[in-house]
Amino acid sequence: MPAWKHAIALGTLLSACGSPATPQRPDFVVHDTLVYVHSDATFARRADLPARVESTIEAALTYWGGSWEELAGRSVTLEGAALVACDGVPSASGCFDGDIRVSTSDLGTTFSCVEQTELVHEVGHAVIGDAAHLDPRWMDFTPVADALGGRVGYADEAEVDCPIVVGVWRHPPRH
């Protein structure tokens, strides 16, 4: 094959596989779920992040009646931006479109721990779907909030509280 044909083939391959939103290597993997960290939030830089992501997802899976198999091969991305890209939703702070993206801030305030993000909510979509939020569990997160309550958070390298505000996990009223 002439050299120029190789060049065209390579270009086609790159355009088909390139995804600007997702880097090739995850920051870490929990079970078979890839985790990408695109945030400068203090908690996102701490050594305990993988364990905290794992236990938060575990609590969410218990709440929603799911298993790690439903997240296998999917990715979770922590985004420093207040809004994450989500197909059809212009102002989302969390998104599930096969993969999960959650903001590490809310209303301009950076979260102190991963438990505060919408991860619990988005795991719900991964497990039960329900894009219309018809299931009553979208509005009552008390059991999972109890399971994740009382943990330490981080801000500017100092340890702070990690209060769970279940309103963050509820579906936005506009939906």
Long-range CB pairs of 25-32, under 8 A, 24+ apart, other chains included: 26/75, 30/54, 30/57, 31/68, 31/71, 31/72, 32/68, 32/71, 32/72, 32/73
Stretch that binds Zn ion, among 36-44, 47-55, 77-85, 166-174 (CB under 5 A): 166-174
Which span sits near Zn ion by CB under 5 A: 4-12, 47-55, 82-90, 163-171?
163-171
State the nearest-atom distance from the C-beta of 125 to Zn ion, in Å.
6
Using the contact rule CB under 5 A, the part of the chain among 8-16, 65-73, 84-92, 165-173 near Zn ion is 165-173
Burial 92-108 (b: 16+ CB within 10 A, else e): bbbbbeebbbbbbbbee
For residues 44 and 49, give the distance between their C-alpha atoms in angstroms, rounded to a whole number.
Answer: 6
Taking the least distance from each CB to Zn ion, the nearer of 124 and 153 is: 124
**The two structure tokens encoding residue 116:** 């505060």
Nearest approach, Cβ of residue 175 and Zn ion (Å)? 7
Query: Which lies closer to Zn ion via its Cβ, residue 52 or residue 171?
Result: 171
- Residue 170 C-beta: closest distance to Zn ion, Å: 9
Stretch binding Zn ion (CB under 5 A), from 59-67, 77-85, 155-163, 164-172:
164-172
Token pair listed for 57: 């997802």
By C-beta, is 48 or 97 nearer to Zn ion? 97
The minimum distance between CB 160 and Zn ion, in angstroms, equals: 28
Closest approach, Cβ 142 to Zn ion, in A, equals 18
Closest to 112 measured CA to CA, from 56, 81, 83, 152:
152
Size of the site for Zn ion (CB under 5 A): 1
Q: Residue 25's closest CA among 13, 42, 12, 37?
A: 37
119 and 57 Cβ atoms separated by less than 8 Å:
yes
List of residues contacting Zn ion (CB under 5 A): 171
